[in-house]
Structure formats: structure tokens, C-alpha cells
Structure 1
Amino acid sequence: MSKYSSVSHRVPTRHNTCAVISPVRRLGYALMLVGLSVGTGAYAQPEAVSAPPSSVEQGQTPLEEAFSGRPRRAPAAQAAVGAPSGTKFNLDFRTMYLGRQNYDGSETESLATGGWAGVKTDYFLDHFSFGATGYTSQKLHGDPDKDAALLLGRGQHGYEVLGELYADVKIIEGLNLTVGRKEYDTPFINRNDSRMTPNTFEAISLMGGTKVGSKGASLRYGLGYVDSIKERNSDEFVSMSVDAGAEVERGVIAAGGLYKQGGFSLGALDYYCPDIVNIGFAEAKMEFAMGGGLTPRLAVQFIDQRSVGNDLLLNPGDSGQQYGIKAELPVGRALFTAAYTNISGDIGMMSPWAGYPGYTSVQVEDFNRAGEAAWMLRAAYEFKEIKGLSTYALWVHGSAPDATGKHARDEYNFNLQWSAPEGVFKGLSLRLRYALVDERAAASDDLTDLRLICNYLITF
């Protein structure tokens, strides 16, 4: 799924699977991915699930993950020698290939390797902690005339950047003030980590949480000012408004909260960028225990975007809304999902600082153009015979948008992923993602998008 909408000033970061790339060449790239990433690791720490946990797409941040940040403490036994007890180090080695054949027949193609290295100290004097992370992406293959995969910088050049450098002040237990460059995860300001390196932000934020009542309920909340963003394929921080497409510099004031009790949650966030745009987001989720091991889940969301102040990006009075509903049914090792979204108002939805959080936003298209409605069916499965192997396939059927000359689309995705469940390679994951987008009633070509990803995470 990509950050930019195909109808906005920013074209989604969709990478086009070069169907014209020879099978031999694709196989060679796949072998390179494995070789470059496996040779680096030692003591990896993993993520292997026994069943598909959700249908959230790579690059998105569900609301329940907002306001949490990274784990603030590591077990004392993992502390590095000479470092404060609980100091945590992360190394992430990543190699990725992206090839795409676009609607107009042009090609996009890149192969890169890199990742990041970071440290987060434990709290000095029980109140002050510091973090830093360096990121890099280096070119293995990429012709300048096939740029735009967003794995490398402009012109298919490698880059390195100090993307995180921050202070974390624990005011009281459960309430933290963070200042500096940092990764954040909320629906419309997040890492969008679906390429080589994530978005990071220069911001000041206050986040906390508390228990509510005696029945296990909790409330998490956050308030912050975000001044600038480092895009995932960039080594520079730019103003949030400039990144959105305006010619003036403005930051974003963000605030929201999330209430959760058992299988029910309700939350909302607001993002206000003066003279540029105001984005409101609300979502509710609930689970229904039906017996027989069946626990279906239902989620609904609402998004409102509108021009504000001096209207320096959108036209005066422009606004747009999205309504969405999603149902999930876990059955043993399978997860079945159905979703629907509808865009109304004057404009399509924009997501300038994150992956778009709509339920029908998938690998290539966001299905968020003005007047567009979309339906999604998805099935995922976690294999019992091969530990760590999972797959999913989905279909999104989108209607024609309001704009003349634009066409209805269908997108088909297939994903196959293996995460080493144990042993020396624990923390290693190999992933294949393929997408086909059919523009119905259009004279243009179909779009195809192939991604091969090898990731190795080490935490100590």
C-alpha cells in the first residue's frame, strides 16, 4: 500500500512489478536477497505468530498501536556491558527488490540493501532516556530511467541519515515527554515502513496511559507538535506542509486518545496543519465471542479532511469524508476478511505523512479517490506443516471516481512470507508480494507490482 493517492498531487508510492523482467533475472535477485541478508545475522529476535493476527497492510498503523511508541525497557539480562541496565540495541538488515510495470507501459525497478542500527538507553535517575538510530539504503541495481520505486534516493542514489536522535523524559510513571527526531506510529503520521527505511519526524510529544475502573479498561492518550518529516527514501527533513505539497512551512498539531476494554476499543485523533488541512480520524472495534472457538471482529472508521485557514493547499471550502467497515473471522489457522469503504465530498483523501489507513488500501492502490467506493475480500492462512510460513490473497473491487477520464479498478494481491520460528536464524523473514491492478474500461495497460523482501532483526 502506498502513501500517496493516485489522484492527489503526490502519486502513491506504488512500485510496478516489471512483468517484462525475465524469470532468470528475477530468480537471481531473489537469491541475492537471501544471500545478502542471511550472511549478516547472529542473535536475532523475531516475530512469528501461530495464526494470522489481523488484516492490516504493511505500511499502515492501526489505531490501537498509537500512543505506545517503542518498548521503553529491555530485560536487565540483555543490557550491554558498560551501558545502563536495560539499554537496548537494534540492528535491522534489509534487502529489497521492487519491480513495476505502470499503466502507461513504463517500468520502475530498484534493488537495494541496507537497514538501520539504533540504541535506546534505560532511564538515568529513573527519568531521562536517550535514543538514536541511523538508517541507510545502498544501491545494488537501478537504472536512473526506471526511478520512483522509493527504495533509493532520487536518481537511484544511496543515502544514509541519522533519522532518530531524541530525549525521553519520564515525568511520572505512565506519562512521557519526548523531544527530537523519532519514529511515530499513528494512522496519519507514521513510519510507513514498506520500503527500505521508515519515515521519521522532528517533534515534541506527550504520551501517557492509565487504567480506568476495576474491569481491566485502559485509556491511552497523546498530544504533540510535529515540525518536519524525513521521508522513507530521503536523508533530509522538510516541513510537514511542504511535504504535503504546499509552498509554505507549517507544522502539525496532533492530539487524540484510545479507550480499550477487553475486545472493545474506541479512539479518535485530530491532525491540524494551519492553513493547509485538518484531518480527523475515528475508529471503533469490537469482538463477539460466539462459542465453538469463533470470535468474529468488527471495525468501523470515519475520516474527515478539509481545507482550513488561508487555504494554501486545497481550494476554499474543500472537504472529503471516508466511511469504512471491516469484518474479520478467525477460523483455526485461517483469517477471513471483508471490508467496504466509500469516499464522499469534494476531494479524494490524502495521506501525505503516512500510509493511508483505509480498510481497502492495499499494496498498490488506496481506493480513496473522490466518489470512489470499494469492496475487499481477503483470506489468510498460517501453515501448520512449515512453521513460520503464512500466506494471504485479496481482491479489491473499486468503482469509478467522480473525476472525468478516471476509471474503475480491481486489484489482486498475493503474499507469501516465512519467518524463522527458532534457532540461529530467528529474526529472519523472507517475503514475496505481488499485485495486479486492472483498470476497467481503460485503454492503458494493467499495472503489475512485484516485491521481494529479506529482513533480519537483531535485538540485544
Structure 2
Amino acid sequence: MTVGRQIVRTPYVNPYDSRMIPITFEGIVLVPDDQGPDQTVDYIASYLTRYKPRNQANFIPFSEGLGVPQDEGVLITGASYHKNGFNIGGTNYWIADTLNTAYGEIDYLLPFGEGNGGRGPQLRVGANILDQRTVGASMIAGAPYETYQASARFVASYRGLVLEGAVSKTGDEASIQKPFGYSASYAGMLVTNFEQAGVDAFLLSLSYDFARLGLDGVKFKAAFGKGWGIEDPVTNGDFSNQQELDLRFVYEPPRGALQGLRVEVEYIDWTSSTTPCRAMISPSSGQS
């Protein structure tokens, strides 16, 4: 049990630390004492009263982050099960008179890569869904409503090469509200997460660890995603079709005189149907 200001890592409430300064939280959190790789069952029971956005110096109520004037925190309950490459879990987030967000995920590592000492090709498949709806007095703008974002992915890896593909779909009634962390969608990218109402999206990424070529600690990743949907000024703020290209180079030597050093450079090319944008970002703490 941890009481006070702290980092919390869950699918919907998390640090979102891609810009070095993480989102931090204030409250009480109960989790298992042993959270090692052999942990079969995980759980969380928490009530967080406030959070600090990345671009603010003060902690504010969770309801304020959603534009609701009354002072409300978030109640978090969740559990997950992990064994033999199989993972299943769910978490619920309740903010009184404002919003309830429920998250579920199922993920499976296929066993055919277990040969050759576990160094053979591996394939992981998964699906998740985030259900979000107004509750109680429904004081949030646009209430009452209910919406969702569902996504699915595959991850194939072999000899340091990783190929990932993902698709996502957001409900037509409203966009996903997520000021408390990075998107849980598998199609989420560094700039956009395609969470606007009625948006469909896909993502493809390829990464390589150059350790097999003798360059320990050198990694490169390229990802491309695209989202499209109907422009609606009420439900999604006149969303315009978007696409994004992310390039990431990382150097983090695991041993030797430079152990502990991390150099990371990211290049982002984001384009909507009306506005192009390019950015160089360096360094970051590496939200994956």
C-alpha cells in the first residue's frame, strides 16, 4: 500500500512519460507486494484524489481534467491473470457524476516459438476494448453518452526483428476522454491515438535490435499509422483524416564504460487533411 504522490501504471491512468515529465498522481494504491515475472495474478485497488498534468505545476481533481467543476477523484479496481503466454485482465475507473471507463484485454503468445531454446520465431496476438460512459449526474459536456474504442494486434518477432500490425475503431457517439495517461489502443502513436468519434485506424511498425550484428544497445523503430472518419463538429470536433510516421533511434549500452547512458532521437511527421506538422524530439524517456 502506497499513500501520497506517486507514479501509477494502469491502461487508462498512467505516466504518459514520452516527454520526460510524467503525469503523477495523489492518493492511495494497493497492489501485490511481489510483481515479478513469475506473478500469476495481479490486482489493484485504488482511490486517487488528484493528478498533475505534464504541462502544469499543480495537482488538480480528476473531474477538473474533464471540465467538471466539482471536486471528484477516481476509484480504480482491476485484476489480471498471466500464465503460459496467456494474459487476460480488466480494470474499471469510476469518477462520480462524471465518467466511468472500463478496460478489458486478452493476449496470447503462441507456443510455436518455444523450440531452439526459445530463440525461434514468436507470434503474439491480442485484443482490447475501452468502454466509456457518463454516470450519475452526468456533469461532463455532451452528456449523456456512451462510446468505446476497440483494437486488435499481432506482434511477430525473430532474431531481433519485430513486426507489428494493429487496427482500431472508435464508437460514433463520442470521442474517448483520456487526459490521465497514454492511450490503451494498440494503434496509438506518439502524436495521435485516433480516439475521435467514428474513426477507424491502422498501424504498422518494424523495429530491429542490432545486438546480433555486434552493436549492443543500438535499436531502431519505424511506425506508420493512418486514421479516417466522418467530420462531425459535435461528436469529434470536425476530425480530419490523419496519418503519422514515427522514427526512433535508441542507443543504450548494457555494459562497459557507457552503461547507464541512454541517447534517444525521434522524428515525427504528422499530417491531417488540412495541416502538416513535422517535429524532431530528443531526448525522451521512451513511452513505447
Q: Is 2:148 aligned against 1:321?
A: yes
The 3 A distance-change label for structure 1 pair 210 and 230 is: closer
Task: Specify which of 247, 261, 265 is matched with residue 83 of structure 2.
Answer: 261
Q: Is 2:20 aligned against 1:192?
A: no
User: What's the TM-score once normalised by structure 2's chain length?
Assistant: 0.89
Alignment partners' CA distance in 2, 1:206 and 1:308: 25
Q: Is 2:220 aligned against 1:391?
A: yes
Name the aligned partner's letter for residue 308 of structure 1. Answer: V
1:4-23 → structure 2 map (5 Å cutoff): none
Task: Specify which of 171, 176, 183 is matched with residue 7 of structure 2.
Answer: 183
Say whether the 8 Å CA contact 1:400–1:409 is kept in structure 2.
Answer: no
Say whether the 8 Å CA contact 1:432–1:450 is kept in structure 2.
Answer: yes
Q: Which runs of 5+ in 1 are unaligned?
A: 1-176, 456-460
Q: How many Å apart are 1:454 and its aligned residue? A: 6.7
Task: Specify which of 390, 394, 413 is matched with residue 246 of structure 2.
Answer: 413
Alignment partners' CA distance in 1, 2:83 and 2:9: 21
Aligned to 1:432: 265
Aligned to 1:453: 283
Alignment partners' CA distance in 2, 1:454 and 1:345: 34
1:283-298 → structure 2 map (5 Å cutoff): 283-291=105-113, 293-298=120-125
What is the CA RMSD across the aligned residues, in angstroms? Answer: 1.9
Task: Specify which of 230, 235, 258 is matched with residue 57 of structure 2.
Answer: 235
Alignment partners' CA distance in 1, 2:30 and 2:214: 45
Say whether the 8 Å CA contact 2:18–2:284 is kept in structure 1.
Answer: no
1:73-84 → structure 2 map (5 Å cutoff): none
Runs of 4+ in 1 over 4 A off after TM superposition: none
Say whether the 8 Å CA contact 1:338–1:375 is kept in structure 2.
Answer: yes
Task: Specify which of 149, 155, 160 is matched with residue 333 of structure 1.
Answer: 160
Q: How many Å apart are 1:194 and its aligned residue? A: 1.4
Q: How many Å apart are 1:210 and its aligned residue? A: 8.3
Instruction: Give secondary structure in 2 for the equivalent of 1:290.
Output: helix
Q: How many Å apart are 1:284 and its aligned residue? A: 0.7
Aligned to 2:201: 374
Name the aligned partner's letter for residue 281 of structure 2. Answer: R
Instruction: Give secondary structure in 2 for the equivalent of 1:393.
Output: strand
Say whether the 8 Å CA contact 1:400–1:408 is kept in structure 2.
Answer: yes
Q: Is 2:134 aligned against 1:307?
A: yes
Name the aligned partner's letter for residue 238 of structure 1. Answer: I
Aligned to 1:19: none
Q: Which has the higher contact order (CA 8 A, sep 6+)?
A: 1
Name the aligned partner's letter for residue 366 of structure 1. Answer: N
Q: Which runs of 5+ in 2 are unaligned?
A: none
The 3 A distance-change label for structure 1 pair 189 and 453 is: same
1:147-206 CA distance string (max 9 Å, x none): xxxxxxxxxxxxxxxxxxxxxxxxxxxxxx221111111111111111232121111122
Aligned to 1:403: 232
Say whether the 8 Å CA contact 1:429–1:454 is kept in structure 2.
Answer: no
Greater CA radius of gyration, 1 or 2? 1
Identity of aligned residues (%): 24
Say whether the 8 Å CA contact 1:437–1:448 is kept in structure 2.
Answer: yes
Say whether the 8 Å CA contact 1:379–1:393 is kept in structure 2.
Answer: yes
Aligned to 1:6: none
Aligned to 1:275: 97
Alignment partners' CA distance in 1, 2:223 and 2:33: 36
Alignment partners' CA distance in 2, 1:201 and 1:452: 26
